[in-house]
Structure 1
Amino acid sequence: MEKMKDYPDVLNVEDIISILRIGKSSAYDLVHSGQFHTVKVGRRILIYKDVLLQWLDGQSKKMEEK
């Protein structure tokens, strides 16, 4: 398992799979869900690491509110 600082500043779907420990179809569902900003470059889908971390932080705050 890698630490977040070891990942590049711009992540791809394979990085999301590794970070969140989810399957490929779940990762693609997530990046297509519109829950956070992604950039499509050709066939690649890219996500800024900071955007993913903010999204994760927002998800944990929502769980705390419940």
Structure 2
Amino acid sequence: MENIEYYEYPELLDVKDIQSILQIGRRQAYELVNSNVFHSVKFGRRIKIPKQSFFKWLKG
């Protein structure tokens, strides 16, 4: 995770953003999102993660 810049990302992240930030695969990203360690919202088949919630979790 080289120099992750909080402001580079939109307010609502996609699973692809999580993959990119953590440098993990698609399956791992979905497992993480579905583990409820940070807040996520489903809109039909789409999953969105509030940026603030994710980065708060990431920073511990």
Instruction: Determine if the TM-score, normalized by the shorter chain, exceeds 0.5.
Output: yes
Percent identity between matched residues is 50
Secondary structure in structure 2 of the residue aligned to 1:18: helix
Please, what is the CA RMSD of the aligned residues? Answer: 1.5
Q: Equivalent residue for 2:49?
A: 47
List, as ranges, runs of 4+ consecutive aligned residues in structure 1 with deviation greater than 6 Å: none
Secondary structure in structure 2 of the residue aligned to 1:5: helix
Which residues of structure 1 form unaligned runs of 5+?
Answer: 59-66
Q: Equivalent residue for 1:14?
A: 16
Which residues of structure 2 form unaligned runs of 5+?
Answer: none
Name whichever structure is richer in helix by fraction.
1
Q: Equivalent residue for 1:36?
A: 38
1:51-62 alignment runs, 5 A limit: 51-58=53-60
Aligned pair count reads: 58
TM-score for both structures, normalised by structure 2: 0.87
Shift of 1:5: 1.1
